[in-house]
Structure formats: C-alpha cells, structure tokens
Amino acid sequence: MPLTEPVPDVRSLDLLRSVAELGSIRQAAIRHNISQPAASMRLRTLELTLELQLLDRSHGRAQLTSAGVAVVRWSEEVLAPLRELLLGTQALRAAGKTNLRVAASMTVAEYLIPGWLQRLRTAHPGILVSLQMGNSRHCIEIMTRGDADIGFIEGPRAPRGLSSRVVRSDDLVVIVAPSHDWTHRTTPLTAKELAVTPLVLREVGSGTREVFESTMRLRGLDVLPLLELGSTTALKSAVESGAGPGILSRLAVQTEVRDGRLAVVTLADISFDRSIRLVWSKERPLGPPAKQLVRLIEESSTRARQL
C-alpha cells in the first residue's frame, strides 16, 4: 500500500532496538556513537512521529512500553533487509580497496549475497568484500579475466576453464498475474502448452534463460519470447502488470507470491531444476577470505536443507 502515514526514521528505530537490547538509553547512545541527549531527542521524535509512547521514563530508567516492544518487533522486518542493503552497497563501492573480490549473477546478488555477507561480517569483521554483478555469462568473463577471486553463477553445467562446485540448488517457476487465466486451471500446465505461449524472459546470457531453454530443448521444444528483459525486477513488474507469463527463479518471487501479487503455475511434466555454482580460477587456489565465505555458505545451505 502507498505510504500515507508519517514514515519513522530508521536510525531511530535501530536506536530503540538497542535500548531494548541494552536496557538503557545511555548504553544505546554509546553503541550508536551519539550523546545521550541526542539519543533521547531521537526517541522522543520517533514517539511523536508514530503518536505512541514507546518508553516509560517515570522510574528514572527508560523501559519499553507494550507499544515499544511491539514496534521493536515489527521494526526488525525493516531493519534486517536494510542492513543487508547497506552491506551490499558497501561491497559495490569497495572495488580497489578490498581483500575479497566477488562476482555474482543477478539472482544470486539480489537474493543470496546480502545474507551471505551479513554472516561473513558477523564471523569475520575484518574481511572487506567488493561485488560485481551481471548475468552469468558476464560473471564468467570477469572470472576468466582474473578480475574477481570468486564467483557465483547459475546454469545447467560447469563453465569451461574454471573450477566449480555446486553450493545451492534452485528451480525456475512459471509466474503469472493473479488475474491470468492460468490461475483458474484445473489441470497442471504441460511443457507443450508452455512452448506455444509467448513468454516474458530474461535476456540471452542469463543463467535463468540458459536453464529454461536447455531444459525445453531436451524435450524437443522451442521457446517463444514475448519480451526479453535485463533484470529480475523488470520481469516481475511486466508479469504483474499482465504482459504475459514469465519464467524466474523461485528465490526471486517468494515475496510477491506470498503477498498475492504473482502466482506460480503448477507444471505437469517438466521441471526446471538448476544449480548455483561457485567458480574460481584453475590457476589460483581459493585464498583464506574466499574459503571463509564458502564455509559459511555451505553451513547455511546445510541448515536450510535440514529445516
């Protein structure tokens, strides 16, 4: 929904969260490197913005009210992705002053890299990461030139000239707008029906496109592009607006499907499984920072499989 209410300052929300964790405004101010009066002013402004009493100051020590507890809990839904955003943008800015250079396909960069970097920062705060993004073909070119230490791509097979191993599985799904006729189907969609339908697709060279086309070719089927778009966000917007069915990673559409903005169509006789691969130079072994990142990724993948 559009933002019609006054929007609270995210720094103040983060400060309130620190008060909840540390038990005092003074300790929260120290954590945020501001004075206690400045912290108190931010918190009062937050209360005025939300029109709620968030702290009970009547006993000489600030305690969260029930409303304050609720706001802290809800704000984590805002602050967690914002932290990931800040880590990702820091990595994009860090070219030339880093000790771990990462190249990643767009899907990996948008939906996996921020969480991986958050875990790396927590476990190894001294490792500074830079990030280059592009489709899988572009990432392979970056790795081949030696312009990154480690890369992550999507695709049905290992690239030539690079060492690789699978670090995560994924699959592609057919998505439509909720108003599309396919949402009312009583039978799953067949591969032949998909082949004769104009589709909204990623550009040639993307891992998503390569997996989709290669899987269809194994069935002796061609692909009929309606639109070719260079970003996941643009593709989702086109499908949501009713342009036509699209093909994307399940990772990329989870939020929109949960919110009812997109729908996944059940397939009858075909699946588009794919692997997310770690790639690195055959001439240079992985250095310690890269090994630390890979270890954390593999640990998180193991936990995800156990859930």
What's the gap between Cα 254 and its chain centre? 10
d(CA 119, CA 132): 19
Locate CATH 3.40.190.10 in the chain.
Answer: 82-168+275-306
Q: What is the CA radius of gyration of the chain?
A: 23
Q: What is the pLDDT of residue 223?
A: 93
- The predicted pLDDT at position 307 comes to 47
According to CATH, the topology of domain 10-78 is Arc Repressor Mutant, subunit A (1.10.10)
- The per-residue pLDDT for 247 is 95
Count CA atoms within 13 Å of residue 86 on its CB side.
Answer: 10
> What is the dotted CATH code of the domain comprising 170-273?
3.40.190.290
Q: Per CATH, which fold does 82-168+275-306 belong to? A: D-Maltodextrin-Binding Protein; domain 2 (3.40.190)
What does each C-alpha distance from 90 to 33, 98, 128, 303 come to in angstroms?
20, 11, 9, 27
DSSP notation for 29-79: HHHTTS-HHHHHHHHHHHHHHHTS--EE-TTSS-EE-HHHHHHHHHHHHHH
Residue 97's pLDDT is 56
pTM for this prediction: 0.61
pLDDT at 69: 84
For residue 197, the cross-strand partners are none
CB contact at 8 A, 26 and 84: no
- pLDDT score for 60: 67
Listed residue (41, 46, 109) closest to 78, CA to CA: 46
Q: CA 263 to CA 244: how far, in whole Å? A: 12
Write down the pLDDT at residue 1.
Answer: 46
Give the single-character DSSP code of 100.
E
CATH 1.10.10.10 location in the chain: 10-78
The answer to whether 87 and 112 are in contact (CB under 8 A) is no
CA angle 135, 139, 140 (to 5 degrees): 120
What are the residue ranges of CATH 3.40.190.290 in the chain? 170-273
| Cα–Cα distance for residue pair 253/178, rounded to 1 Å | 13
Residue 163 half-sphere exposure, CB side, CA atoms within 13 Å? 10
What pLDDT, on a 0 to 100 scale, did the predictor assign at position 261? Answer: 92
Residue 33: what pLDDT? 84
What is residue 4's predicted lDDT score, i.e. its pLDDT?
57
- CA 268, CA 197: separation in Å to the nearest integer? 15
All residues at 6 or more sequence positions from 116 whose CB lies less than 8 Å from its CB, including other chains: 293, 296, 297, 300
**Element containing residue 192 per DSSP (H, E):** helix 191-195
| Tens digit of each residue's pLDDT, the chain (307 residues) | 455 567 778 888 888 888 888 878 888 888 888 888 888 888 888 888 888 888 887 776 778 888 888 888 888 777 777 766 776 666 666 555 567 888 998 888 888 888 888 888 888 888 888 888 888 888 899 999 888 889 998 876 778 888 888 888 888 999 999 999 999 999 999 999 999 999 999 988 888 898 899 999 999 999 999 999 888 888 999 999 999 999 999 988 988 999 899 999 999 999 998 888 899 988 888 888 888 888 888 887 665 555 4
How far from the centroid of its chain's Cα atoms is residue 193's Cα? 31
Q: What does the pLDDT read at residue 282?
A: 86
Q: What angle do CA 283, 287, 292 make, to 5 degrees?
A: 140
Residue 5's pLDDT is 64
